[in-house]
Amino acid sequence: MAISKLNFNSLNVTPSASSAIGFDSGADDLETGAGGGSMVFIKKLTASSSGTLSFVDGSSSVVLDNTYKEYVFIFNNLHSSSNTGLFQVNFSVDTGSNYNVVKTSTCIQAYHLEDDSEAALGYAGSYDLAQSANFLTLNFVSGTDNDESTSGVFTLFNPSSTTFVKHFISRVQGTEGSGYSMDFSVAGYGNTTSAIDAVQFKMSTGDIDAGTITLYGIA
Amino acid sequence: MAISKFNYNSFNVTPVAGRALAFDADADGFTTASGSSMILIKTLTASSSATLDFVDGTSDVVLDDTYPVYKFEFINIHAATDQADFNFQVNVAGASGFNETITSTHFGGYHRSGDGASSLGYQSGGHQAQGTSYQRIFADSNNGNTDSSSGHLYLFNPSSTTFVTHFMARTVGRGSDTSNASSTFYYTGGYVNATAAVDEVSFKMSSGDIDAGIIKLYGIADS
């Protein structure tokens, strides 16, 4: 009988879920891997009046373990339902049962008002944490006008390590309701040597009305 | 006759242009997948260039709703004119000219090569309040033969007709202080205050040409 289509087990390579098929480094065999690049899409969550958006390893196709040494979350047009809501993050070491990892962090803030009456750069001591398990603020309050939102990039390094504390770097750009352009740069570490296996985002008050958060692994 | 080569339609999966062949989530079948989520779209190389422009639909540039996030990378941008700033602006669909309204912040720091001084501060000379000028992302480029600036610029959801379009840039280079060069960095953030789709981005120096350097445009997929 003629071969009409090759099935998954027709190739001389061990199948690996969701992995691409490519040539190996010697270009003389096949292997599985990320394919043509190193930034691998893992999961997108879309807010719809959401109290929280959570990425839990092993749940809903989320990978947040030792598969990657670096994870990147991209925030795109997160729209707050409340004009007093601060966009925040916390971590879990028990697959989402508790989001309460102790953190120490820094925060620098730049802002500029649309009417040019205010502009400044400074350390934002109100938004840093010192050995606190509270949620960490990643941006000042976001305006609730229809065209206002928050976007940015959050990087979590080696969350599965059981040796090191967990470093993170965040930069978020947003519009504040009074007409400010807000640039928040936050960095710090989760002061735990347990593996972080879940990350949760929320507003300090109100919901994440709309927007997306997308998780990538850096292979 | 033995089969010696498998063609694209030999596999039990529906071909999708530009995607990789992969195992499915259960590892018991084929599917198509994006090999990487950061996709190179276009590289422009300066050669005494007055501007480097990325225009959706022109010269293979994609700058539309194909990707939710776009990232430009600047590699060794060399100014023809000493102390020129490296800037960008955008144009929205249906409009003309790189002159959209921007509100932004701009700060940076430097460390002089002779260890004589270092500083961090807000740079009001490079921010805009509902301005329509080109937005500075690196200031006072030194144009010595070994000098340049590098960095990146994120553009979030430029095709949105609901939200203003946020951007964030970070650059580093050898800044000019006429007599004392320095390692200099800048953070620039802000938004294009329009709810029309941004589909063109232009880069240029505040004076003179972009003598040399590369700008790469990537799309970051979210599926």
| Beta carbons of B166 and A3 less than 8 Å apart | no
A199 HSE (CA, 13 A, CB side):
25
Q: What domain range includes position B175? A: 38-220
Share of chain B above pLDDT 90, in %: 70
Interface list for A 80-109 with B (CB within 8 A): none
| Beta carbons of B163 and A149 less than 8 Å apart | yes
Structural domain contains residue B104: yes
B1 confidence band (pLDDT: 50, 70, 90): low
Per-residue pLDDT 10s for chain A (219 aa) are 556 778 888 888 888 876 777 777 677 777 776 555 689 899 999 999 999 999 999 999 999 999 999 999 999 999 999 999 999 999 999 999 999 999 999 999 999 999 999 999 999 999 999 999 999 999 988 889 999 999 999 999 999 999 999 999 999 999 988 899 999 999 999 999 999 999 999 999 999 999 999 999 998
The answer to whether the pTM exceeds 0.90 is no
CATH number of the domain to which B99 belongs: 2.60.120
Structure tokens at B48: 């005494």
Instruction: Show the CA angle centred on residue A72, arms to residues B188 and B45, nearest 5°.
Output: 55
Name B84's Cβ contacts closer than 8 Å, sequence gap at least 6: B140, B141, B143, B205, B206, B207, B208
CB crowding A33-45: b at 16 or more within 10 Å, else e: bbbebbbbbbbbb
Name B96's Cβ contacts closer than 8 Å, sequence gap at least 6: none
| Beta carbons of B156 and A173 less than 8 Å apart | yes
Structural domain contains residue B125: yes
Say whether pLDDT at B11 is over 80: yes
Structural domain contains residue B4: no
Which residues of B are less than 8 Å from A115 in CB distance?
A: 129-130
Which residues of A are less than 8 Å from B104 in CB distance?
A: 112, 181
pLDDT (tens digit per residue) in B39-88: 999 999 999 999 999 999 999 999 999 999 999 999 999 999 999 999 99
Structural domain contains residue B207: yes
Structural domain contains residue B86: yes
Structural domain contains residue B152: yes
pLDDT the model gives residue A200: 98
State the total domains in chain B: 1
Q: Give the C-alpha separation, A88 to A199, whole Å.
A: 11
Interface list for A 148-207 with B (CB within 8 A): 148-153, 171, 173-175, 179, 181-183, 185
Tell me, yes or no, if A28 comes closer than 8 A to chain B by beta carbon: no
Structural domain contains residue B92: yes
Structural domain contains residue B10: no
| Beta carbons of B30 and A8 less than 8 Å apart | yes
Structure tokens at A63: 């990978």
Interface list for B 11-30 with A (CB within 8 A): 11-12, 20-30
Q: What is the residue whose two structure tokens read 């339902």?
A: A81
Q: Give the C-alpha separation, A173 to A168, whole Å.
A: 17
Q: In what order do the strands lie in the sheet with B20-23?
A: A30-33, A20-23, B20-23, B30-33
pLDDT the model gives residue B179: 53
The pair phi, psi for residue A92, each rounded to 5°, is -130, 145
Say whether pLDDT at B166 is over 90: yes
3-state SS, residue A107:
strand
Q: How far from the centroid of its chain's Cα atoms is residue B79's Cα? A: 17
pLDDT (tens digit per residue) in B130-165: 999 999 999 988 888 888 999 999 999 999 999 999
Average pLDDT over residues B208-220: 97
CB neighbourhood size of B136 (10 A): 24
Tell me, yes or no, if A79 comes closer than 8 A to chain B by beta carbon: yes
pLDDT the model gives residue A206: 95
3-state SS, residue A127:
helix
